[in-house]
């Protein structure tokens, strides 16, 4: 499991990073927004642990979380911050956060929350999205339409996966371009090309054009997910309290 950890205070970041790595998580520690964006562009993460107050601004962590959610980030987001007001906690959850841990905190509690979020993420990623004639097996990266397998390229599957994991969300052309084609020279027309390819390979109904962008077709909106697989539990290693 890949974890992005954004924290500008080295005295806090180092013990947390060491402990998470000791639990066999792959942790990328960054200390700035720029480094966080660079890391997110290089690989996919299952969980982002974000400080809120950074040198770039008091709300920098909130702004990062909101931005990556809008861009389609489906991993868990855990805020780790000294901002303890009810308003801040509500804001963090409303913009896409999954959990909110206030400093000072116990490493034991942090690990429990990390495990819970990653377990949820593991269940989602190992799920089958089944609705109407469409079935998407996320783990096997396999797509069926009316029981017939549909062969998709990696990028086509990634785009369909995004729609299936967010069946009620409308993605703008710009959202999809920034996520899947950041280095394309052809402009955002390439998004329309890929949407048309999905329609041709699967069904015209699979992706619906909406005011402002695209969403999963209406026949797929009422989705059910068959969840399977649990993340194995790791032993807690410390009762240390991080100030």
How far apart are the C-alpha atoms of 80 and 52, rounded to whole Å? 7
**Beta-strand (E) ranges in the chain?**
2-6, 26-30, 47-50, 76-81, 99-102, 105-106, 128-131, 134-137, 142-145, 148-150, 207-210, 213-216, 224-226, 241-242
**What is the per-residue pLDDT for 122?**
67
Is 231 part of any domain?
A: no
Is 233 part of any domain?
A: no
Phi, psi of 53 (to 5 degrees): -90, 115
CATH number at residue 197: 1.10.10.10
Evaluate whether 207 touches 216 at the Cβ level (below 8 Å): yes
Nearest by Cα to 83 from 65, 98, 61, 102:
102
Are 7 and 120 members of one domain?
Answer: yes
CATH number at residue 30: 3.40.50.2300
**What is the per-residue pLDDT for 227?**
31
Are 28 and 134 members of one domain?
Answer: no
Tell me: the pLDDT tens digits for 32-89?
999 999 999 898 899 999 999 999 999 999 999 999 988 878 789 999 999 988 889 8
**What is the per-residue pLDDT for 235?**
35
Is 150 part of any domain?
A: yes
Is 232 part of any domain?
A: no
Question: In degrees, to the nearest 5, what angle opens at C-alpha 92 toward C-alphas 211 and 180?
Answer: 45
How far apart are the C-alpha atoms of 154 and 162, rounded to whole Å? 12
Are 120 and 134 members of one domain?
Answer: no
**What is the per-residue pLDDT for 184?**
64
Are 110 and 142 members of one domain?
Answer: no
Q: What is the total count of domains within the chain?
A: 2
How far apart are the C-alpha atoms of 214 and 172, rounded to whole Å? 6
Is 211 part of any domain?
A: yes
Global pTM? Answer: 0.56
Range of the domain at 208: 128-226
Are 57 and 39 members of one domain?
Answer: yes
Is 216 part of any domain?
A: yes
**What is the per-residue pLDDT for 193?**
92
pLDDT mean for each 10 residues of the chain (243 residues): 94 95 94 94 92 94 92 88 89 88 92 89 71 84 91 86 86 86 72 94 94 81 36 38 50
């Amino acid at each position: 499991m890949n974890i992005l950890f954004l924290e500008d205070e080295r005295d806090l970041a180092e013990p947390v990073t060491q402990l998470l790595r000791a639990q066999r998580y792959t942790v990328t520690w960054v200390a700035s927004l720029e480094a966080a964006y660079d890391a997110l562009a290089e690989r996919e993460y299952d969980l982002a642990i974000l400080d809120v107050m950074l040198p770039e601004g008091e709300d920098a962590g909130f702004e990062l979380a909101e931005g990556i959610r809008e861009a389609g980030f489906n991993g868990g987001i855990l805020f780790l911050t000294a901002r303890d007001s009810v308003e801040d906690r509500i804001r963090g959850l409303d913009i896409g956060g999954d959990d909110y841990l206030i400093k000072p905190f116990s490493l034991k509690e942090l690990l429990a929350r990390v495990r819970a979020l990653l377990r949820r993420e593991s269940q989602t990623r190992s799920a089958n999205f089944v609705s109407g004639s469409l079935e998407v097996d996320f783990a096997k990266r396999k797509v069926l339409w009316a029981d017939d397998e549909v062969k998709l390229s990696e990028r086509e599957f990634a785009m369909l996966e995004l729609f299936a994991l967010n069946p009620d969300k409308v993605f703008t052309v710009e959202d999809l371009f920034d996520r899947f084609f950041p280095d394309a020279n052809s402009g955002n027309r390439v998004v329309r090309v890929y949407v048309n390819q999905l329609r041709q390979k699967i069904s015209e109904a699979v992706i619906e054009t909406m005011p402002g962008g695209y969403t999963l077709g209406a026949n797929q909106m009422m989705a059910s997910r068959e969840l399977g697989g649990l993340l194995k539990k790791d032993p807690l290693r410390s009762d240390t309290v991080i100030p």
